[in-house]
């Protein structure tokens, strides 16, 4: 088992399904947790559910507001001394045909998934010692066509690009930057998307263009714990020579 004893691990989107799984996984490895989310109640529940030996540091923050994101990272470093690992997990998604996308849709998705992620990375890196790790949660949507998720797919392609560039920039500081590209994860976000696809009467692309359990080699979505355990490895010293990479953890939807 990987040992994160005494290491400060900041997780954005800590109140969501994957965020909670990440919190449990890193807490079990001994990490000191800092959870960030705009959902205060969900964050409290995630903290209680994490099983962390010490009370996680909780920060109520809107990831689409860079000033809040940077202030939150500064606060974590001030209170906990540093940030050893950042898991950029916060994301939003909605499903619409290309023809129905509005400027507001783009602003919402890019504001959290790209702008918020970047400023979290930038501000956390300022407080990260050599040997630190940043892990961005991307998606296979950033690698393939997703007609009803065009703006979301674009945002995740940007995450993959940011990961590469930041890895080059931060290598001289001894900080690694990687990403995970999940496919479907059994969380509320997936359930809501599936409901949207079922309820939409028109504008739906062929089934082959939509994510489904049948598109994975295992015939099921990922458990959040399966993505969390992948994150644990990439953030650990066992992956000390891996940087600038995006690992597909998608049940074979995409192969590299």
- The residues carrying an active-site annotation are 152
Question: By three-state DSSP, how is residue 162 classified?
Answer: helix
Report the alpha-carbon distance of residue 30 to residue 122 in Å, rounded.
25
DSSP character string of 31-96 = PEEEEEES-HHHHHHHHHHH--SSPPEEEE--TT-HHHHHHHHHHHHHHHS--SEEEE--------
Report the alpha-carbon distance of residue 152 to residue 181 in Å, rounded.
13
Paired strand residues for 177: 134
The residue behind tokens 């650990």 is 236
Cα 144 → chain centroid = 18
CB neighbours of residue 216 within 10 Å? 17
Helix axes 40-50, 17-28, angle to 10 degrees: 30
Sign of CA pseudo-dihedral 62, 192, 93, 201: negative
Question: By three-state DSSP, how is residue 140 classified?
Answer: helix
């Amino acid at each position: 088992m990987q040992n994160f004893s005494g290491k400060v691990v900041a997780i954005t989107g800590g109140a969501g399904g994957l965020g909670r799984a990440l919190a449990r996984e890193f807490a079990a490895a001994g990490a000191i947790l800092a959870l960030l989310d705009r959902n205060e109640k969900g964050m409290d529940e995630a903290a209680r559910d994490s099983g962390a030996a010490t009370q996680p540091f909780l920060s109520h923050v809107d990831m689409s507001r860079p000033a809040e994101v940077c202030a939150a990272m500064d606060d974590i470093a001030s209170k906990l001394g540093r940030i050893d690992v950042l898991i950029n997990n916060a994301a939003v998604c909605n499903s619409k045909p290309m023809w129905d996308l509005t400027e507001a849709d783009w602003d919402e998705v890019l504001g959290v998934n790209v702008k918020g992620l970047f400023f979290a990375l930038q501000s956390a890196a300022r407080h990260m010692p050599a040997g630190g790790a940043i892990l961005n949660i991307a998606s296979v949507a950033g690698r393939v066509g997703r007609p009803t998720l065009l703006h979301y797919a674009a945002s995740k392609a940007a995450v993959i690009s940011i990961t590469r560039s930041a890895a080059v920039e931060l290598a001289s500081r001894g900080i690694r930057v990687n990403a995970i590209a999940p496919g479907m994860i059994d969380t509320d976000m997936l359930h809501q998307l599936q409901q949207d696809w079922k309820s939409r009467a028109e504008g739906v692309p062929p089934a082959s263009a939509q994510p489904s359990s049948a598109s994975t080699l295992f015939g099921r979505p990922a458990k959040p714990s399966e993505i969390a355990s992948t994150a644990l490895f990439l953030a650990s010293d066992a992956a000390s020579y891996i940087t600038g990479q995006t690992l597909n953890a998608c049940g074979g939807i995409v192969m590299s």
